[in-house]
Structure 1
Amino acid sequence: MRIAFVKREKAGFRRMIAVRTTAMLLALASVGMIFWFYGADPVEVYREIFLGAFGTKTGVSEVIVKLIPLLLCGVGLSLVFKGQIWNIGAEG
Structure 2
Amino acid sequence: MFVGKDWTELSLHFGIIGEEYNGENDEQILIKTKKFFESIILTNREKEIADDIRQFLNMLYQNTDGYKESSSIWKSMMEMEHHFNLIKYTIKLLDCMST
If you compute each CA radius of gyration, which structure gives the higher value, 1 or 2?
1
What TM-score do the two structures reach when normalised by structure 1?
Answer: 0.29
Looking at secondary structure, tell me which structure has more helix per residue. Answer: 1
**Higher RCO structure (Cα 8 Å, ≥6 apart):** 2
